[in-house]
């Protein structure tokens, strides 16, 4: 996981939950962007791409 992603998530994200694989799901603290909620996932383990 990159340090920039961790800092962005710490400042702007709210943890929604985790799954059985250890992935963490977040949503933005602020309101919607263009009518849609901003969401992202931090996957557990090494980056494959």
Q: How many CB atoms lie within 10 A of CB 13?
A: 20
Contacts of 15 by beta carbon, 8 Å cutoff, 6+ apart: 24, 25, 26
Please state the separation of Cα 5 from the chain's center in Å. 8
pLDDT at 47: 74
pLDDT tens, position by position, 23-38: 999 999 987 878 899 9
The structural domains of the chain, with segments of one domain joined by +, span: 3-42
Whole-model pTM?
0.81
């Amino acid at each position: 996981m990159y340090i920039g992603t961790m800092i962005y998530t710490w400042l702007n994200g709210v943890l929604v939950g985790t799954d059985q694989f250890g992935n963490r799901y977040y949503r933005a603290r602020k309101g919607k962007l263009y009518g849609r909620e901003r969401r992202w996932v931090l996957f557990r383990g090494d980056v494959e791409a």
